[in-house]
Structure 1
Amino acid sequence: MAFHQKLNLLMDQFHISNSKLSKELNVDASLVSRWRNGQRIPSTRSAHLPIIASYFLTQHGYSYQQEFIRKILDDHKLVVPHIDDPTELLSDWFINEKATNIVEATTKATQQAAATFIEKFKDMMNMPKSGSLPPQVSIPVISLGKTERNYYVFKENDGRRHAILYLLQTISDLPSPTDIYLISEEDMSWLSEDRSFQVQWGTYLRNIILQGHRIHIIHMVNRDSNELLQALSLWIPLHLMGSIQSYYYPKYTAPLVKHTWFIVKDVCMITSSSVTQQQAENICYLSHDLESIQAYQSMFIGRIQDCKPLVEVFRIDQHLLLLSKLAASTSNISPTTSLHYHINSLFLPDSVFLRYSKTLVSDQRKEYIDLIRKWRTRIFQSLSLAPYTDIFPSSALKELASYTYKHYDPTFFGLTPIEITDDEANEMLKNIQHVLKEYEMFNVYLINQTSKETEISVNITLKENTDSFFTTTVSPGIPFLGLYVHEGNILHSLSYYLDDIIVQIPSLRRNKQETMKEIEKIMK
């Protein structure tokens, strides 16, 4: 069976439509359609395969449907006995031509389910009819005792925002740092529709982090791209301030009942639940009841057990670890897009790295230079195999020729800008010229730093379907260098974000020949 036949088989078995699957996987419905008619086949390394597999494995359907999935896994385990993980096993079944033909098993499972239903229906229809009423049962009077609790009700998005601001102010007024637990599976319109509230929300969170409070948050990464980007624009800069632990569910499920819990440990909490998020459901509750708060705290910690860390944060004392992670990432050949607010460190002369290495302790110097060489070698090897798009402000080129250029890149030089000499600045311009001429798939796009494109105020390097690195654009005065993310939906949303930036750049600023002319003009 081919991939499209297997996908059609599972979608028919679970009664999944194209639109439903595309929504759950956060892909376009037309892509699902092409998968089903055989026009598109995911590659063996496609990030979509484990997501599709995980989706079907988490469908809690009828017993015959669950038995159908188990049959696939059991049969395919005989083909690939070295694979134990169910997600990997089902992913391999989709693309493995040696996979067992299970059409016969499907037919039997369906016939058995139909036969079971018919027998149960017959039994129900043959039940004796009786006109007599059931015997009277005495019902005791139940006393509520002393379990009554007080809570506050807030209606619609305006009320929800009011409750959240109260909770944030309560945290700010606490005498000592505490733990905060956040999860929201519901619609995020309460945040997205009010720009002034977004500013208040972000300001409170920054102050809370600076006060030493610890935030634990479970992100819903199966949201649409716009909601994910809004979350990134808020949470990525906050992560670089530290004291945040982020998690996500590796199984991309959409719960029927969606919950929101904002909990301040042993102090207060906001809770809400909804199915359709209609007006009647748009209610949240604020409570100070300790027993209730502790019950929700326990449930939150229980949910974390099924989660994975969403981001990896690197402190200043993990400088070489971050650099090692970056060097390892470059071994994966895939299209790369880099958005930053300085000249790419790729073009720095060797003398800059050697000079900085002397500021390190002696046993780190050789490791630092070796990692730099490994990173640069792999980058230049990949430039002839995959596209590389480098995006930065046009003003950075002019700063380079101003005789006062200081290069800031936390990945390579920590949180302190490094001074560049006039000769080194000239060599950087020559290096950019050389790479633009030498590698057809390498492009430099120049943006206006004051335009809309600076919404996410961090440097981003994205390797398509692989991973992404984030670093600060200016020294924040705190000991954090950067973040590493490899979750599929985050990478997918970042691709949309960077594509949108590229589309807004005037064509003249995306023309390689014009960029080279501008560099030549600056050099003169």
Structure 2
Amino acid sequence: NKPQTLLLFSDESFDWLGQNPEYAARWAALMIQVIAQGNRICMIHTVSRNLDEMLAGLSRWMPLYMTGAIEPYYYPKTRDGLFKRTLFIAPEIAAVISNSVGNMEDEAANFLITDKKAVRALTSEYNNLLALCRPLMRIFTSADSQAYNSILYEFEKESADAIVKAESFGILTMPDVVVDGIIARMGQNDGQEIAEYLNIRKQNFTEHLLTHNFTEIVTIPALDKMKGGRLRVALPDTLPRQDVFYTQDELILHLENMVTLLKTYPNYYVYIDTMNKNEGFMLYVKEDVGVIVAKTSAPAITFAINQSNMTASFWDYLNGSINRHRDPQLNKKAVIQRLQALIKQLKD
């Protein structure tokens, strides 16, 4: 068949897709095969889902997003969620549809329709919905580094409180000497340009610390992993083409710089996460501005979102995960002591 654009929409639960790992793997392989044959996918997302479900969806669709063959949209108006609908359409070929009330998807009928006249009617229904929708996000792969850098610059110029959570320690608190060493190991031909761009970002970061809070949520890795040079540098911001790991000396310098920033800037906070959720993603949220979600390993892919409901969901999620002490300064002192103890362990 001639390649075409598949039309997908559902505001029903997607729990069925992740319950059976074998089925989920088979589904993913078939979807990759569909795209490999030249087809594209237009998908209308439901932004009212809870954040865990959204992140699970991003993870599940990640290989497909990386192909650049998916166009994501969302419906911007409020819906009550009583009547739910699923439309999966291959125009002129077939459609799978269902309807349900509330959370009664398990009791709903699912229909496979091949009658061409009916498929055309359903395609018109989908297109009418799509006309009311807006683009949900911008998607960047390693081939889009210049466009992504431009978006990230505008995002970081916005004045707002920010929270970032990653598997490793953030690029904005990394000393210049560590940045230079890592870029050299990456073998980037444009290493000087990358370093200058990162320097601009770091200047914006310190300027905003004078007026707005910046909270970095970090996970302390196992000591043997850090001493053994197996801690991956979280560099989704520069869209790396390879995984890069800290040397022990680089890690010490980075931690020492974080301690200096904690002592220097009242608006800079570090919270140590013991749950280690959302492994594999960097989440970077600015309140009422937007959110950046990036995969922290190669090959890189990044999502830039400014839809208000999703931004608020990500902000509330990260803000709620922070164990704020009644006196933030006491918490800050405890974090400084924890980081200083870690530095001592790395030096021993």
Check whether TM > 0.5.
Answer: yes
State the Cα distance separating 1:518 from its structure 2 match: 2.9
Aligned position for 2:87: 261
What is the percent sequence identity of the aligned residues? 21
The reply on whether 1:522 has 2:345 as its aligned counterpart is: yes
More helix by share: 1
1:211 aligns with 2:33: yes
CA shift for structure 1 position 416: 1.0
Which residue type is aligned with residue 315 of structure 1?
T
The CA deviation string for residues 190-249 of structure 1, in whole angstroms up to 9 with x for no partner, is x3488624x45643443234324233211222x2x52x5413321255245333221012
Question: Residues 392-439 of structure 1, C-alpha deviation per residue, up to 9 Å, x if partnerless?
Answer: 221077644435554242322513123544443332121111111112
Corresponding pairs, count: 334
2:77 aligns with 251
Change beyond 3 A, Cα 1:483–1:418: same
- Between Structure 1 and Structure 2, the one with more strand by share is 2
Give the distance between the partners of 2:60 and 2:341, measured in 1 at CA. 32
Q: Does 1:501 align with 2:317?
A: no
**Which residue matches 1:482?**
302
Distance 1:300 1:514 in 2: 57
Q: 1:376 aligns with which of 177, 180, 202?
A: 202
Post-superposition Cα deviations, 1:470-495, rounded to whole Å, max 9, x if no partner, equal: 1113224xxx4311111111111112
Structure 1: gaps of 5 or more residues: 1-174
1:175-324 to 2 correspondences below 5 Å: 179-185=5-11, 187-188=12-13, 191-192=14-15, 196-197=19-20, 199=21, 202-213=24-35, 214-221=40-47, 223=48, 226=50, 228-236=51-59, 238-239=61-62, 240-242=65-67, 243-254=69-80, 258-274=84-100, 282-324=108-150
Matches of 2:66 and 2:247, distance apart in 1: 31
- Residue 32 of structure 2 aligns with an amino acid whose one-letter code is L
- The answer to whether the Cα contact below 8 Å between 1:232 and 1:456 also exists between their aligned partners in 2 is no
Unaligned runs of 5+ in 2: none
CA distance in structure 2 between the partners assigned to 1:178 and 1:244 by the alignment? 12
State the AA in 2 paired with 1:502. I
SS of aligned partner of 1:368: helix
Matched, 1:417 2:240: no
| Aligned residues: CA RMSD | 3.5
Residue 442 (structure 1) aligned with residue 240 (structure 2): no
Q: Counterpart of 2:286?
A: 463
Q: Distance in 2 between matches of 1:202 and 1:251?
A: 31
Q: Residues of 1 paired with 2:336 and 2:178: CA distance?
A: 28
> Structure 1 residue 346 and structure 2 residue 168: aligned?
no
Could you list the per-position Cα deviations for residues 41-93 of structure 1 after superposition, in whole angstroms to 9, with x for gaps in the alignment? xxxxxxxxxxxxxxxxxxxxxxxxxxxxxxxxxxxxxxxxxxxxxxxxxxxxx
Give the 3 Å change call, closer, same or farther, for CA 229–456 of structure 1 in structure 2.
farther
Paired residues of 2:17 and 2:24 also in contact (CA < 8 A)? no
Give the aligned residue type for 1:473: T
TM-score normalised according to structure 1 size: 0.56
For 1:117-196, what aligned pairs fall within 5 Å after superposition? 179-185=5-11, 187-188=12-13, 191-192=14-15, 196=19
SS in 1 for 2:221: helix
Give the 3 Å change call, closer, same or farther, for CA 314–280 of structure 1 in structure 2: closer
Aligned to 1:389: 215
Structure 1 280/265 Cα, relative in aligned 2: closer, same or farther at 3 Å? same
Secondary structure, counterpart of 1:395 in structure 2: coil
Change (3 A) 1:420 1:256: closer
One-letter amino acid of the structure 1 residue matched with residue 312 of structure 2: H
